Chain A
C-alpha cells in the first residue's frame, strides 16, 4: 500500500534540440488531488502523454500503479481515466451512445454499462441531454460528458489536462466541485494540469510548479509560499487617506526605516510593504504617530498568484517558456 499511484523518476523527453520535459521527479499518492501548474508549453501535456504511454519518454521511468506505460499500456489504461484538454466525441452519436461505446471498449457488460452511464450522466447533470447528438453539445457540456466518459470505467486515477479551458466561471466552479467531491467520496487520485492559478488553488491538495520542462517546486500552497518567499514571506497592505506626493514620499521613507522591511511600493493610497517578519503593528504605529489617518490595514498571505508571477517575472531562464 506504500507504493504511490504515480511515480516519475528522472523523466525526460526531447524533441530534437528542445527539452520538453527535463529530469522530472514526482510522486503522487493515493487519494491526492495534485495540480500541475505552469504556463503553456511548459511540458505539462507531454508529461501526461508519457504517463499514458501515448508518447515514449526519451529517458527516465514512469510507474503508474506499479506498471510501466510503455511496456504495459493496457494495464495502465485500464486504471487511468484521461480527459484531454479539448475532448472530442463522435458528433453524430448521442452523449449516451458515446458513453456506452467507451464502456464497451472497457468490456463492461451492456446492462451494467447502461446503469453506470445513467448514474454518471445524472452526476454531471446531463440526464436531460443524454439523447442529444454530442455535436450539439456546448463546450461545458462536452467537458462534463468527458468527465462521465472518464469515470465510466471506474478508474482509481484520473488525469485531467486543462479541464476548465473555455468554460464560463460558473461552469468552472461546478466542474471543480464535482471533481473534488468525487475524489473525496471515492478516493480517486486526481492529476490536474492547468495554467489557471485560482482554480488549482481552489481544489488541489498539492501543487507542482512546472516551468520550461522542470518542476521547480511542489507542495501545498503554504509550503510553496514559505519555500519560494523565504526572504520576504510577509506583506502588509496599508491604506492611508488624503495624501499628496510629498506625504507619499515621506511615508515611503518612514516605512523603509522599520526594521526587517525589504521593499515598499504603492498604488494610489495603498502601500504594500514586504517584510521578513510580521511588522503589521509597526506599520500601523508609524502611520498613526506621524499624524496620518489609517483607513485600511491587512496582512496578506502569498497566494499562487504571487508565486506564479514571481516565476514568470524572474525573466531569463524561466521567462521565455511560453
Chain B
C-alpha cells in the first residue's frame, strides 16, 4: 500500500520534469525564432551577399546627420559653452575641496572624487546644476529644426522619394542626435575626471566610476527628452523659429515658473503652523504631494537623480519622519541602492522622452510632403 503512492509520486515527478523540460525547450525555440525575427527587422549594415559594400540607408542618414551636427556652428558654440562651464565649475569645485571644511564632513570623504561634480565654493553653481540648466538648451538646439528645415529647404520631398521608409528619417535624426549627445557627455565626464585626477591625485574608486557612468547616462536621457520635445515641435510647426521659441517657452515654464506656481498653490493649501504642531504626519503628506507635483518637471527629476547618484549619503528623495531616520547610520549607500532610489526618476524621464517621440512619429507619418 505504501509503495503505490511512492510510485505515483515518482511518476508524477517524472511527468512534471519531462513537461517542464518540454516547456523549456519550447520557450527556448520561441525565444530563438523571436530573436531571429527581431534581428531580421533590424536595419542591417549589409543586405545579402551581393550588396556587401553598400551601407543600409538608415545608417547612411544617421552618419550624415551626425556629420551635419558636428560641423554646424550651433553645435560648436554650445559645445564651447558647455565645456567652459564644465571647467569653470571644476575650478570652483577644486577650490572648495581644497578647504579642509569640505573634507571629512558628512561621511562623504570616501567619495572624494564625486565632489568634483557637486561641490562648489559659492561663486559658480556646480557641474550638475549647470548641466540641469544647459542640457535642455543643447537638446533643443539639436532638434528644433530637424524636420521643418528639411521641408523648407525642399530636401524632404527629395529624400522621401528615395526608397527608404518614412520613419527612417525621424528615427535616424533622433538616433544621430542621441549618439552625438552621448559622445559629447561621455567625453566631457571623462575629461573632467582626468583633469580632476591630475589636480587632486586621488583616483576614483570603481564605485565612483560606475556612479559617474550612470550620471552620464542619466544626462543623455535628460537631454534626449528635450531633444524629443524639440523634434516634436519641428514636425508640428513649419517655421524653425516658431518651434525653437515654443520649445524654449516650455523649457522656461518647466524650470522657472512651474516650481513657483506649485509652491504658491502649496502655500495657499498648506496647514498653518498651529495645526502643524498638532498633526505631524499629515504635514509630511502635504510636503510629499508638493514634491510629487514638482516632479512633473523633468529638471526636478534630473536634479533628484543626480543628487542621489553623486552623493551616496542621500538615501531618500522625500521627507523622512523622525521614526524613519532614528537608528539609521549615516553611511553611504552602495551603487545599486542609489540606482534603485533613482529608478522612478529614470523611468519617468525615459517615458516622457518616448511619449514626445511617439507624438512626433504619429504626426510625421501621416503628413503630406509637399515640395516648398
The answer to whether the Cβ of A318 comes within 8 Å of any Cβ in the partner chain is no
Check A49–B368 contact: CB distance below 8 A: yes
Considering only residues 156-185 of chain B, those with a C-beta below 8 Å from chain A are 156-166
Whether, in the assembled complex, A104 has its beta carbon less than 8 Å from a beta carbon of chain B, the answer is yes
**Stretch of B24-32, B54-62, B314-322 with 4 or more beta carbons under 8 angstroms from chain A:** B54-62
CA distance A209 to B54 in the complex (A): 43
Q: Which of A83-91, A196-204, A218-226, A280-288 contacts B (4 or more CB under 8 A)?
A: A83-91
Given the known interface contacts A54-B161, A87-B158, A89-B155, the answer about A101 and B60 at a Cβ–Cβ threshold of 8 Å is: yes
Which chain B residue lies CB-closest to A107? Answer: B54
Q: How far is the CA of A89 from the CA of B370 in the complex (A)?
A: 15
Docked pose: A91 CA to B153 CA in angstroms: 9
Q: A102-B162, A105-B164, A108-B54 are in contact. Are A87 and B154 (CB under 8 A)?
A: yes
Pick the residue among A45, A91, A149 that contacts B158 (CB under 8 A).
A149
What are 6 A-B contacts defined by CB distance under 8 Å?
Answer: A55-B368, A74-B165, A84-B371, A91-B153, A102-B162, A109-B54
Whether the Cβ atoms of B369 and A49 lie closer than 8 Å is: yes
- Chain A residue with Cβ nearest B156: A88
What's the Cα separation between A104 and B53 when bound, in Å? 10
**B165 & A104 in contact (Cβ 8 Å cutoff):** no
CA of A256 to CA of B281 in the docked complex: distance in angstroms?
A: 108
Interface residues of A in 87-101 (CB under 8 A from B): 87-92, 101
Residues of A within 8 A of B165 (CB): 73-74
Neighbour of A84 across the interface among B61, B157, B163, CB < 8 A: B157
**Contact of A54 (CB < 8 Å), options: B51, B54, B157, B164:** B157
Cα(A300)–Cα(B155), bound, Å: 45
Shortest Cβ distance from A149 into B: residue:
B158
Across the interface, do A80 and B57 meet the contact criterion of CB distance under 8 Å?
A: no
Q: Taking the complex as formed, is A106 at the interface, i.e. its CB lies under 8 A from any CB of chain B?
A: yes
List residues of chain A with CB within 8 A of the CB of B153: 88-91
Q: Is A52 an interface residue (CB 8 A)?
A: yes
A18 to chain B, nearest CB (A): 14
Given contact pairs A102-B162, A105-B162, A86 touches B371 in the complex (Cβ within 8 A): yes
Cβ of B40 under 8 Å from chain A: no
* A97–chain B nearest beta-carbon distance, Å: 9
- Among B46-72, those with CB < 8 Å from A are 47, 51, 53-57, 60-61, 64, 68, 71
B163 contacts A90, C-beta separation under 8 Å: no
Interface residues of A in 134-164 (CB under 8 A from B): 146, 149, 153, 161
Contacts of B158 in A (CB 8 A): 82, 84, 87-89, 102, 146, 149
Chain A binding surface SS class: mixed
* Residue on B nearest A142 in the bound complex, by CB: B154
Contact of B60 (CB < 8 Å), options: A104, A146, A153:
A104
Q: Is A310 an interface residue (CB 8 A)?
A: no
* Residue in B53, B64, B164, B369 whose beta carbon sits within 8 Å of that of A55 in the complex: B369
In the complex, B372 has a CB within 8 A of chain A: yes
Q: Could you tell me if B161 and A105 are in contact, using CB atoms closer than 8 angstroms? A: no
Output the nearest chain B residue to A90 by Cβ-Cβ distance.
Answer: B155
- A92-B71, A110-B53 given; A82·B161 CB < 8 A: yes
Do A104 and B54 form a contact, CB below 8 Å, given A52-B161, A87-B158? yes
> Is A78 engaged at the interface, CB distance under 8 Å to the other chain?
yes
Given A54-B369, A84-B158, 14 further pairs, Cβ under 8 A: A54-B157, A54-B368, A55-B369, A75-B163, A82-B161, A84-B154, A87-B371, A101-B60, A104-B54, A105-B162, A108-B54, A109-B53, A153-B163, A161-B371
The answer to whether A107 and B372 touch across the interface, beta carbons within 8 angstroms, is no
In the complex, which residue of chain B has the Cβ closest to the Cβ of A54? B369
With A49-B369, A101-B64 known as contacts, the answer to whether A86 contacts B53 (CB < 8 A) is no
Q: Which 9 A-B pairs have the closest CB atoms?
A: A88-B154, A84-B371, A82-B161, A109-B53, A88-B153, A107-B54, A55-B368, A78-B163, A77-B163
Q: How far is the CA of A161 from the CA of B157 in the complex (A)?
A: 12
Flag B134-156 by CB within 8 Å of A: 1 or 0 each. Answer: 00000000000000000001111
- Nearest Cβ on chain B to A162's Cβ, whole angstroms: 9
Q: Which residues of A contact B163 (CB under 8 A)?
A: 74-75, 77-78, 105-106, 153
Q: Closest Cβ of chain B: how far from A189's Cβ, in Å?
A: 16
- Structural contact, A107 and B47, CB atoms closer than 8 A: yes
Given known contacts A55-B368, A77-B162, A80-B161, is B57 in contact with A88 (CB within 8 Å)?
no
Instruction: Determine how close the nearest CB of chain A comes to the CB of B120; give it in whole angstroms.
Output: 40
Residue with the greatest number of chain A CB neighbours at <10 A, chosen from B55, B61, B159, B163: B163
Least Cβ–Cβ distance between A49 and chain B, in angstroms? 7
